[in-house]
Chains A and B, each alone.
Chain A
Amino acid sequence: MTVQELPGAAAYRPTPPPAWKPITDPAPLLPDPEPYRVLGTDAVADADPELLLRLHAELVRGRRYNAQATALTKQGRLAVYPSSTGQEACEIAAALVLEERDWLFPSYRDTLAAVARGLDPVEALTLLRGDRHTGYDPREHRIAPLCTPLATQLPHAVGLAHAARLKGDDVVALAMVGDGGTSEGDFHEALNFAAVWKAPVVFFVQNNGFAISVPLAKQTAAPSLAHKAVGYGMPGRLVDGNDAAAVHQVLSEAVARARRGEGPTLVEAVTYRMEAHTNADDATRYRVDSEVEAWKAHDPVRLLERELTERGLLDDAGIEQAKEAAERMAAALRERMNADPELTPMDLFTHVYAEQTSQLREQAAALRAELDAEQDHDEHGPEAGR
């Protein structure tokens, strides 16, 4: 099937009245009127207890990971850390719904999703430590480099998923973006391309209420971010982003839909950024404590823990066990991050091009000479080499 034979691409060709085309029916694409929930609702009866326990263990670990990374920033071991505290249900679910062959396209706030997918936390945090830009081989883990320019990774996810489909590979790409990112042009272009190409992509928006300091009301006039899907001809789903079971279910359905060749889905998870944008930000300048407190009552870890304990699936010992496992992860991460990374200045010139240009060779030689002089000075004092 070629691109132009796809039903989505062929469907819309304007015709004059009386046989008007298009005839619109946005209803099948519209999101639920309220964010979809599983925990504390009848839907939880269908949830797999094993999955819920797995989600719980990962959430506890994720919460601890966020705390540890924040602490490492305060100790100067990370240059900056954009925390996903409060958003762990989204981060974990995004990782768990994917098969090994699938691809994850994280933003800079999504190191936890990468870790939950199995990436070494030190490799995930390398960008934020600052000794190199990407701490891992994206192809080995099928995790795209953490993306800082907002929404620019979304077209990449579309292109990759499109390429995989052209090759006949069963691969889905899940791309993560925040509420602020939905205002970017690349968000629009990616969704449009994905819908036209019926690319197997899931666009996962974590609406955490703020783009640094700017609240959602200043970002969009749409009834919900999920509504934006209708304009592209793909379904929009609205989900409680702090309900790990619900996020997992909605993302799983979107991934399955993509895998069946039915095209992309836009999922909006309503959540809340409990910490400031990063350690360098001061959230008290733009939001009140009472709002943060209200969200604490809807904390993703507590929601799941309450459900599991009420159903007798988890007891205090189980909670303690999850916490201990998380503590071991944190201790190992702390220890490894406390070691100074080995810096390799000459690598600055190694990967600009496949082959160094003559100009880069000259500049590399100049830096080499500077480094040698520095070393000479350190070893033999200021008179060395004179």
Chain B
Amino acid sequence: MTTAAVTADGRPVKAKPATMAQALGRALRDSMAEDPTVHVLGEDVGTLGGVFRITDGLAKEFGDDRCTDTPLAEAGILGAAVGMAMYGLRPVVEMQFDAFAYPAFEQLMSHVAKMRNRTGGAMPLPITVRVPYGGGIGGVEHHSDSSEAYYMATPGLHVVTPATVDDAYGLLRESIASDDPVVFLEPKRLYWSKADWSPEAPAAVEPIGRAVVRRPGRSATLITYGPSLPVCMEAAEAALAEGWDLEVVDLRSLVPFDDETVAASVRRTGRAVVVHESPGFGGPGGEIAARITERCFHHLEAPVLRVAGFDIPYPPPMLERHHLPGVDRVLDAVARLQWEADS
């Protein structure tokens, strides 16, 4: 995936440090430039450029009709997007924060997720719902929820979450181009993470539905996504000192779920830990652990463990570091993978 980037006329392009926020904004811009049916709508997305500035410049470049400040009502925004999609547009909705997306749940569950199915395929809804999610930015109450479990439990939705700058651009482009509705979860604490990246020649990435091994290893597999990927990468580096060579799998999409890549990795390593911020009870980790057990039981040297947020409402910002899975907690879980049986 790290082939040298070139421009359309074949000249090499120098990649420069870019943030995930910039890559997301560029993905919106390029999608709108390429396809006149792409419309962005949400709260403060126009003149202000969004509270995270992801939509900065879109209203100026494409006009208020293409990037629209809506009234402050999430069900209305998503409901209107449904009607726009019914008429052939390709709306991209911005929910301002994870917890502010909840008023739109009925539209999402009863209509967005079901329209293709309930019309026998006659009326798919190509809607992308962008949701900044997760904690770690010192947000006060209602600004740091991990809401992915609700979405992944709803058949009909794709649930996509990037963890790298390349993926932020590539997965958002693909989400907008998809004829299925996508809940696009943006890890807000990675908005300002940087990587070398070229807007003129963004790197091609694996398609939605494919997990990617971010770090190959032999001892155990860390399975994660979005905001917890950097945590797992750091843990894997630290684990070398303990003699563990950890493989890190970035899921990139919870739906579709890449059973193949996950199972292949766990069969190789024989041990697995799932890491996410979302509360553990009823969270994605339980589903993932069950799928691994169903597929890899005879390869497992230890039970699949989970490192997750506590089963509590998201804590106040001064306490969030105790809640969020960190490197130490990941390493503690790795230590509990019954290594003594090997010796």
Contact = CB atoms under 8 A, between A and B. Distances in A.
Contact of A149 (B64, B86, B110): B110
Nearest to A160: B83
B73 A193 contact: yes
Given A132-B120, A133-B118, A352 B110 contact: no
Contact of A163 (B63, B88, B115): B88
Interface stretch (A12-20, A70-78, A137-145): A137-145
Contacts of A149: 106, 110-111
Nearest to B116: A351
Contacts of B39: 166
A189 B75 contact: yes
A171 B39 CA distance: 19
Interface string B93-128: 000000000010011001100111111111110000
Contacts of A185: 75, 103
Contacts of A158: 76, 79-80, 83
A162 B111 CA distance: 18
A133 B117 CA distance: 8
Interface residues of A, number: 46
B259 A358 contact: yes
Contact of B83 (A2, A159, A357): A159
B65 A351 contact: no
Contacts, number: 151
Interface in B68-83: 68-71, 73, 75-76, 78-83
Contact of B122 (A138, A156, A188, A192): A138
A347 interface: yes
Given A158-B80, A163-B89, A193-B80, A3 B120 contact: no
Interface size for chain B: under 10, 10 to 19, 20 to 34, or 35 or more residues? 35 or more
Interface string A345-365: 001001111100111000000
B237 to A, nearest CB: 32
A352 B259 contact: no
B76 to A, nearest CB: 3
A251 to B, nearest CB: 20
Interface in B192-251: 209
A190 B79 contact: yes
Interface in A337-351: 347, 350-351
A155 interface: yes
B9 interface: no
Given A159-B83, A161-B83, A359 B256 contact: yes
Contacts of A139: 86, 122-123
Q: Which of A162, A192, A353 has the most CB of B within 10 A?
A: A353
B336 to A, nearest CB: 29
Interface string A121-164: 00000000000111001111000110001001011111111111
Contacts of B124: 354
B260 interface: yes
17 contacts: A3-B65, A133-B120, A139-B123, A149-B111, A156-B80, A156-B111, A159-B81, A159-B87, A167-B88, A185-B75, A185-B103, A186-B107, A193-B76, A193-B80, A350-B121, A351-B116, A351-B119
Interface of A: 2-5, 132-134, 137-140, 144-145, 149, 152, 154-164, 166-167, 173, 185-186, 188-190, 192-193, 196, 347, 350-354, 357-359
